Amino acid sequence: MDQQTKQAIKEAAAKKKRETYTPVVPDVQLGFIHNNVDCIGCRACEIACKDKNGLPPGPRFRRVAYVEGGTYPEVFAYKVNMSCNHCAEPACLPTCPTGAIYKRQADGIVDIDSTLCIGCRRCEAACPFGAPQFIPERNVVAKCNMCVDEIDAGRKPYCVMACMMRVLDIGPIDKLADGTHETKARGPADQVVRRVKTMADPELTKPSIVFVAHSKGVAE
């Protein structure tokens, strides 16, 4: 294949992408806030999520990671809690060949229509945060949709409601970031960051999540 043909194919693919994927700018972008410092790692959010979504053993839409380090007596430990980040520029969405993945105009939630999913797992490969999860028993990919049925009913997601320490919450991501949204996940003196260590670069997809980070967990 000569260079001219390769270029023609690349241009055709780019044109097709423009035709089939128009980025959604939502009316309000909902997102998560997690307090890495005060989280006790009880995993109640994980269990509530699995129960709500009827997940079999294996797939987890919400994941709590334990991070420990240091040398005695200077030791530290904290938890990082993540699910789908309902990104402003989701990498999963344009990779879907059937249009099963979509972003809601009203609140920016990224969801999957399971009736259109063919289980190709392209979204799973594209996501830098590991949010899409393949469900072998159903031959589909699924993920956190922020409990859209609860959101539409004026309530919060199951994971947030299950958090006994109130370190996980949702709200407009811009207001969570600047501290103007009332939440128990952030204290009056707490600062938030967009990225913690081991997390992919937020500039890749602009994830809708902020953290009250442990001093040892702030990404440089």
pLDDT at 15 (0 to 100) = 57
Residue 76 lies in a domain: yes
> Can you give the pLDDT at residue 14?
60
Task: Write down the pLDDT at residue 3.
Answer: 78
Please state, as a whole number, how many other Cβ atoms lie within 10 Å of the Cβ of residue 28. Answer: 14
Mean of the per-residue pLDDT values of the chain = 93
Domain containing residue 63: CATH number: 3.30.70.20
Are the beta carbons of 31 and 170 closer than 8 angstroms? Answer: yes
Residue 219 lies in a domain: no
**pLDDT for residue 6:** 63
DSSP 55-122: PPSS--SSEEEEEEEEETTEEEEEEEEE-----SS-SSGGG-SSS-EEE-TTT--EEE-TTT-----H
CA-based nearest residue to 186, from 196, 177, 173: 177
For residue 19, the model assigns a pLDDT of: 54
With a cut of 50, which residues of the chain have pLDDT below it? none
Establish if 41 belongs to a structural domain: yes
Q: Are strands 74-82 and 63-71 parallel, antiparallel or unpaired?
A: antiparallel
**Is residue 73 one of the residues assigned to a domain?**
yes
| 63 occurs within a structural domain | yes
Per-residue pLDDT, 1: 58
Predicted model pTM: 0.88
Alpha carbons 177 and 29: distance in angstroms, whole number: 12
For residue 175, the Cα-to-chain-centroid distance in whole angstroms is 17
Report the pLDDT value the prediction gives residue 113, as an integer from 0 to 100: 96
Q: What is the DSSP letter of 193?
A: B
* pLDDT score of 11: 67
Q: Is residue 20 part of a domain?
A: no
The total number of structural domains in the chain stands at 1
Enclosing domain of residue 100: 29-212
**Residue 100 covered by a domain:** yes
In a domain, 5, yes or no: no
Predicted confidence at residue 22, as pLDDT, reads 80
Reported as a single tens digit per residue, the pLDDT across 97-129 is: 999 999 999 999 999 999 999 999 999 999 999
